Amino acid sequence: MKRGAVRDSYLVDEIELFEKSSRLLNKNISQKELQDITLLYGISYSTSVLYQYINNQHKEFISKINSYPKAITRPKRATKIILIPGMFYKEHGDIGGDGSLVRSIAEKFGFETELVDLYSRGSVSDNKKIIIQKLLANQHKNVWLVSLSKGSTEVRVALEELRGNNLTNNIKGWISIVGLTKGTPHADKKLRNRITKVVWYLTLKVLGVDHAVTEEISSKNKFLQKNMLIDSHIEVIHIAGFPLPSHVEPLLVKRYKALAEFGPNDGIILLQDLLYIPGNVYPVWGVDHFLRTSNMSAIIYKMCHYINNTK
């Protein structure tokens, strides 16, 4: 019998995995070490090692987030959440890139919310201009940005361009959810030679996607590989999924496997990038880039409490 889409991997004893992989933890871990662990012990071991390392590095922040209840409270001050959606958010809202779950929970807390109307299939540079115009026109005194996937690329370049502009003083924080702040190797493969470029650009034309996107979100984009420099008063938080092969959604299985040679990934981004970007990290075990977990609502509730208690 032919089966439908499956995750294509066996379940593992995650208790044993965590116990064994904890022996590979170092005080400081590098991209090279993660790749070596992947090569010697497999992707599940390196993912577990990185997850535990991130938890150790950000344990105070994670503990604080986890201390908040899964309940609604009234806002302590007027707060606005500006949402920057991911790619294809208009065409495939079911994936969650439109931030509708974040928006609905934030509004229950009494926060004002606004979804930035980006080009759903547009370039980073075009969408960056829209974000900058939105931020410069903002009159609210207490703003948090929440971006999803490719939207985080656009927020990053926008905030770096606005660095030092007093008009951004009202931006208190930025929560990047599975953000492509350093690009993705998936884009690199589309650009590896002239033939792959031509085929890919023709595909993008059919899909109605701006051809500039691929270069902009490539992990070889020199700008994205530089240290991220944004105003220090803006608190940065990264929410990232840490899946084992058995956790990956069928739609992302091939992409996950393609990135496995580089080490831990969520099917779209390399998780080792979290070692080299500023801000706090909230890791979510057992989910890929789509963050399909029953805990997602609870995480958003807790993040709203954090925003509500941050001056």
Determine, yes or no, domain membership for 34. Answer: yes
Of 279, 285, 278, whose CA–CA distance to 299 is shortest? Answer: 285
- Summarised one tens digit per residue, pLDDT across range 59-105 is 999 999 999 999 999 999 999 999 999 999 988 877 778 999 999 99
Q: What is the mean pLDDT of the chain?
A: 92
The CA distances from residue 239 to 74, 284, 295, in Å, are 24, 7, 13
The tokens for 141 are 């005194």
* Within-domain flag for 49: yes
Query: Residue 4 domain-assigned?
Result: no
pLDDT of residue 97: 86
User: To which residue do tokens 């971006």 refer?
Assistant: 147
Within a domain: 154:
yes
Mean pLDDT on 108-118:
96
CATH classification at residue 254: 3.40.50.1820
pLDDT exceeds cutoff 80 at 226: yes
Domain span including residue 27? 14-308
Q: Name which of 99, 143, 147, 117 is nearest 233 in CA terms.
A: 143
Residue 8 lies in a domain: no
Average pLDDT, integer, range 260-289: 95
Per-residue pLDDT tens for 249-274?
A: 999 999 999 999 999 999 999 999 99
Cα–Cα distance for residue pair 269/264, rounded to 1 Å: 9
pTM of the model: 0.94
| Burial (0-12, 13-18, 19+ Cβ within 10 Å), 311 | exposed
Burial of residue 202 (CB within 10 Å: 0-12, 13-18, 19+) is exposed
Average pLDDT over residues 114-124: 95
Is 6's pLDDT higher than 60? Answer: no
Measure the CA–CA gap between 40 and 19, rounded to whole angstroms: 17
Q: What is the pLDDT of residue 2?
A: 40
User: Residue 1: pLDDT above 50?
Assistant: no
Going by pLDDT thresholds of 50, 70 and 90, the confidence category of residue 4 is very low
- Give the chain's domain count: 1
**Is position 5 within any domain?**
no
Share of the chain above pLDDT 70, in %: 97
Q: What are the residues whose beta carbons fall under 8 Å from the beta carbon of 116, sequence distance 6 or more?
A: 82, 83, 84, 85, 130, 131, 134
Mean pLDDT of 131-148: 94
Three-class secondary structure of residue 142 per DSSP: coil
Encode pLDDT of 154-209 as tens digits.
999 999 999 998 878 899 999 999 999 999 999 988 888 888 888 888 888 898 88
For residue 51, the one-letter residue type is Y
Residue 21 belongs to some domain of the structure: yes
The pLDDT of residue 167: 78
Q: What does the pLDDT look like over 290-300, one tens digit per residue? A: 999 999 999 99
109 token code pair: 């807390």
Tokens in use for 160? Answer: 């770096």
**Residue 201 resides in a domain:** yes
